[in-house]
Structure 1
Amino acid sequence: MMNTLMRIYVDGLNDQNEMNIDVIRYRRMRRRRARRQVVLQVRALLFRQRHAAQPRVMVNRCSQWWDDAAHRDDVFWKKNFRMNQGVFRVLCDRLAPNLQRNALNGLSVERLVGITIWRLATPCELRTISNLFGVGRSTVCEVVHEVCGAIIDSMMEDYIVWPQGDCLRQVMNGFPQCAGAIDGTHIPIIAPKNNPADYHNRKGWYSLILQAVVDNKMRFTDVNVGFPGRAHDARVFRNSALYEKGENGDLFPQWHREINGVQMPPVILGDPAYPLLSWLMKGFSEGANFRQEERVFNYRLSRTRMVVEREFGQLKGRWRILMRRNDSALRFVPKMVTACCILHNFCIAENQAYDNDWNEVNEDEDIYRNHQPHVDPVNHVAVNAGDIRNALIQYFA
């Protein structure tokens, strides 16, 4: 009987001890939760205080800078925005319907366009643009992509136009039946995560290829952006809509001109990297049997197609983002390059002359193209293309 009572007493003590331990654990857990809640509240309060004060300072500073810019002379605007203030307003009015539908953070159309032009025209870092315009770095990226998309949607059909009718007749001056010159140039980019080797060009840096056709007034009439830098110019050309239209006979009207007994259609001019077609003329490859007549033909063709090389130089001089390594995501780069081409034609249409002070020596410019082998990489010569070129040799001789 005594043993039974002792056992009951001991079991009761054990139960009491376990209950006390559970209570102590529960109280400790509540204290930890309370301390953690206080820490989180303090952190949230400090975060709100720090970030609530910053926008007021940034907006005031940005508004003051923008108000000052509105009263600056055309020299300031031409230097920093590549156009005078009047033309800038025209551009804003043109883009306003697209941008007002998707207004970003309550920013005005003028400020949206100003951020984008500053980004395209200067090699400034995002941090610099962010401080200058009083917005976050992520907002700068968002604004640039939104405005570039608006430029393409609302202006491309009016400013990147293939010549037709009377416009085509005006272009076909100088070189017989020449409707433009074609070439490619490389746009520097950061190494992409997927298949970086495809974008590593022969010069040793990463790039996208811009293929373009330029007319006699140094306007872009066709652009194709997006092929990786390792691709050859001929491959880019064969996979473009321009090639498809040319082969289907949809590129030019049937405006043939007889030259030394040969019916010659309108043509575009290219360098030896391109195939010889009835609607695309290129020079002869210099070899052991290189004749004087062929040398004269190459000289005439080279002088005529020099317009596309000058155009690429002015495009990159006006929009410096194309000259430096573009740090945007790869999927956004073609949109930015296309927008630069459209804005280039827009500036020409608005008589915004190119300033030679924008020129800058760029050792990598066109190195890749100029060091390509002077052979026909696709070994393709269209029927009658050789006859047309021979007729041109006799014409120039």
Structure 2
Amino acid sequence: MDDFYEFMDYVEDEGYIRMPRNIIRDMENPLEKYNNNELLKRYRFSRETIQHILLNLVYPAEPFIDQRGLPICPITKLCVALRFYASASIQRVIGDTGSMSQTTVHRIIQEVSENLARNLRQYVKFPDRNGMNNNRNLFFEIGGFPGVSGCVDGTHIEIKNPGGENAEVFRNRKGWMSLNIQVIAGPRCEILDIVIRWPGSAHDSRIFNNSAVRLRFEQELLTGLLLGDSAYQQTHYLFTPALNPATRAQNLYINAHIRTRNVVERTFGIWKSRFRCLATCLQYKLRNVVRIIAATAVLHNIAILRGEQHVQEDFVDRVVDGPPVAVIPARENAIRAAFIQRHFNI
């Protein structure tokens, strides 16, 4: 052994170049195994964003005391959940790729979803006053509709039959079980507000009328206008399309309304195509379904905030026909007519 060290000293003294040391990568760690493009296709996020989510949201202080029981490292847990959100693969298939049981994958998805859902109000919220003014300017650039703070609509996410006496209230107009999720979208297709508790049979207008965001607009804690389709009731802050337009101003209003409100439809498309689990039937208990939906809403806004590339894939959303057109009282109809006359009578 002494001869070996003497030889190494001789090599260094003589200026010989050492061979580079081989680095053995951990191939079980997806961040080591895949490049950024491959990570985006499989997990919808770049390496830097996955590390950000891991360190700041899911496992900010994961203890590593010992190796008893062959514990799964936090980065593997996070990537298992992200793979499920992105691909909606069967748990057993995801487990086979990582040498895990189906039960372990189920427990990981539940754990990560719960940790992400706890950050819902941190990432899914209306901006401050300056941010609201900026949003109104961006909305105006999209469709020429003044004063818009957000666009509201509902989307259905399929679930398994929850069973019990009240199971049928989850059956929507198309005949399948779902949750009707209310979303208010911003101009960058970010989610500003989300309601995840109503069954598929609930009408969009009923969900909005019972929501906290409606109360905040009523009390003027939130300012500006919301745009909704004809299923919603016209108010002084929520504007709906003008049916059977007869004047040029009404046609301009409808065109601006359609172009601007299309933001919420694009939001649903990006959200569900980025996280394909939302476009399939979620085979979980209702509590876990709510956590998964909330977790993907958080991840969606993080992706927009950090400028993550959206992987374009073929996607067809299952659209549920809206409820009958809401009857507009004379006072609300007059409010809309005055707004059209003031802003679109060019």
TM bin (shorter chain): 0.7 to 0.9
The offset of 1:148, in angstroms, is 1.2
Aligned to 2:222: 251
Structure 2: runs of 5 or more not aligned: 1-24
Moved more, 292-301 or 198-207: 292-301
The offset of 1:145, in angstroms, is 1.5
Structure 1: runs of 5 or more not aligned: 1-62, 253-265
Deviations 1:215-272 (A, max 9, x none): 11111110111210011101111111111222222222xxxxxxxxxxxxx1111111
1:49-128 correspondence runs (5 A)? 65-67=27-29, 70-97=32-59, 100=62, 106-128=71-93
Instruction: Please state whether the residue corresponding to 1:305 is helix, strand or coil.
Output: helix
1:1-397 correspondence runs (5 A)? 65-67=27-29, 70-97=32-59, 100=62, 106-153=71-118, 155-173=119-137, 174=140, 175-194=145-164, 195-252=166-223, 266-286=224-244, 290-356=246-312, 358-362=313-317, 364=318, 366-369=319-322, 372-373=323-324, 375-376=325-326, 379=327, 381=329, 386-397=334-345
Q: Do the aligned partners of residues 71 and 337 (structure 1) sit closer, same or farther apart at CA in structure 2, a change above 3 Å counting?
A: same
- Residues in 2 aligned to 1:385 and 1:172: alpha-carbon distance in whole angstroms: 23
Does the Cα contact within 8 Å between 1:278 and 1:383 map onto a contact in 2? no
Does the Cα contact within 8 Å between 1:277 and 1:382 map onto a contact in 2? no
Letter of the 2:270 partner, please give it: Q
RMSD of aligned Cα (Å): 2.4
Does the Cα contact within 8 Å between 1:268 and 1:279 map onto a contact in 2? yes
- Residues in 2 aligned to 1:81 and 1:92: alpha-carbon distance in whole angstroms: 13
Deviations 1:10-64 (A, max 9, x none): xxxxxxxxxxxxxxxxxxxxxxxxxxxxxxxxxxxxxxxxxxxxxxxxxxxxx97
- Residues in 1 aligned to 2:333 and 2:109: alpha-carbon distance in whole angstroms: 44
Quote the sequence identity (%).
Answer: 25
- Residues in 1 aligned to 2:218 and 2:308: alpha-carbon distance in whole angstroms: 36
The structure richer in helix per residue is 1
TM-score by length of structure 1 reads 0.73
Q: Do the aligned partners of residues 78 and 94 (structure 1) sit closer, same or farther apart at CA in structure 2, a change above 3 Å counting?
A: same
- Residues in 1 aligned to 2:303 and 2:116: alpha-carbon distance in whole angstroms: 13
Larger Rg: 1
- Residues in 2 aligned to 1:102 and 1:228: alpha-carbon distance in whole angstroms: 41
Q: Do the aligned partners of residues 278 and 178 (structure 1) sit closer, same or farther apart at CA in structure 2, a change above 3 Å counting?
A: same
Q: Do the aligned partners of residues 389 and 144 (structure 1) sit closer, same or farther apart at CA in structure 2, a change above 3 Å counting?
A: farther
Letter of the 1:207 partner, please give it: S
The offset of 1:133, in angstroms, is 2.1
Which portions of structure 1, spanning 4 or more consecutive aligned residues, are displaced by more than 4 angstroms? 96-99, 101-105, 289-292, 379-385
Deviations 1:125-163 (A, max 9, x none): 01101112222212212211111111122x323311212
Q: Do the aligned partners of residues 198 and 290 (structure 1) sit closer, same or farther apart at CA in structure 2, a change above 3 Å counting?
A: farther
Number of matched pairs: 311
TM-score by length of structure 2 reads 0.83
